[in-house]
Chains A and B, each alone.
Chain A
Amino acid sequence: MWKLLRQTGCVGIVTEPPPGSDEALRIADSLQLQIKSIIGRALCIRQIDAGSCNGCELEIHALNNPVYNIEGLGIKFVASPRHADLLLVTGPVSRSMEVALRRTYEATPDPKLVVAIGDCGCTGGIFGENYASTGRVANVIPVNVAVPGCPPSPSRILAGILTAISSPRAITSVSDN
Chain B
Amino acid sequence: MDQLTYWIEQAKPMPGAPGVCQLEVSVETWQQLARDIAADGGRLLALWVDCEPAMTVRVAFLTKSIVLVLALAVAESSAGYPGLADSFPAAARMQRAAADLCGVRADDFDTRPWLRHAAWPTRYFPLAPERQAFEKTEAVSDEYRFVRVTGDGVHEIPVGPVHAGIIEPGHFRFSIVGEKILKLEERLGYVHKGIEQRFTQMQLLVGHRLAARISGDSAVAYSWAYCQALEGMAQVVIPPRAAWLRALALECERIANHLGDLGALGNDAGLSFGLAQFSRLKELWLRAGEAAFAQRYLLDFIVPGGTGMDPSVNGLSGLVTCAGMVGATASEIRTIYDEHAGVRDRFTGAGIVTPELAARLGLTGLAGRASGQSFDLRVDLPCEPYTSLSVTKVWRSNGDVAARVEVRFDELSESLRLVEQIVQQLPDGHHLVDVAAPAAGTMGTGIIEGWRGAVFIALTAAKDGLIGRCHPHDPSWQNWPVLEHAVIGNIVPDFPLINKSFNLSYSGHDL
Chain A positions near chain B (C-beta within 8 angstroms): 3-4, 7-8, 11, 14, 47-62, 64-68, 77, 79-80, 91-92, 94-100, 102, 104, 125-128, 130-133, 150-151, 153
Contact = CB atoms under 8 A, between A and B. Distances in A.
Interchain residue pairs A-B with the least CB separation, the first 6: A55-B216, A79-B164, A95-B119, A65-B279, A132-B194, A130-B194
A94 B279 contact: no
A94 B191 contact: yes
Contacts of A53: 213-216, 507
A97 B169 contact: yes
A52 B283 contact: no
B225 to A, nearest CB: 15
Contacts of B166: 47, 49, 57, 60-61, 77
Given A57-B168, A96-B117, A97-B169, A131 B280 contact: no
Contacts of B495: none
A3 B336 contact: yes
6 contacts: A47-B165, A52-B507, A79-B164, A94-B119, A96-B119, A127-B193
Given A3-B335, A95-B119, A98-B139, A62 B279 contact: yes
Interface in B169-197: 169, 189-195, 197
Contacts of B139: 95, 98-99, 102
Contacts of A91: 191, 193
A96 B168 contact: no
Interface in B115-143: 117, 119-120, 124, 126, 134, 139-141
A65 B280 contact: yes
Given A67-B283, A100-B190, A126-B213, 10 more contacts: A8-B277, A49-B167, A49-B168, A49-B191, A53-B215, A94-B193, A95-B120, A96-B117, A99-B140, A104-B162
Interface of chain B, main secondary structure = loop
Contacts of B333: 7
Nearest to B263: A65
B217 interface: yes
Interface string B195-222: 1011000000000011001111101000
A88 B354 CA distance: 40
A50 B279 CA distance: 24
Nearest to B284: A67
B296 A132 contact: no
B158 to A, nearest CB: 13
A100 B162 CA distance: 7
Given A54-B506, A65-B280, A80 B164 contact: yes
B276 A96 contact: no
Contacts of B190: 51, 94, 96-97, 100
A55 B505 CA distance: 11
A31 B279 CA distance: 37
Interface in B465-511: 505-507, 510
Given A55-B217, A96-B191, A4 B169 contact: no
B283 A65 contact: yes
Nearest to A125: B213
Given A49-B167, A79-B164, A55 B219 contact: yes
B279 A131 contact: no
A65 B286 CA distance: 12
B507 A8 contact: no
Contacts of A54: 168, 215-217, 505-507
A8 B335 CA distance: 14
Contacts of A126: 198, 209-210, 213
Nearest to B125: A131
Contact of A130 (B134, B165, B219, B282): B134
A11 B280 contact: yes
B162 A7 contact: no
B9 interface: no
Contacts of B209: 126
Contacts of B286: 62
Contacts of A127: 193-195, 198, 210, 213
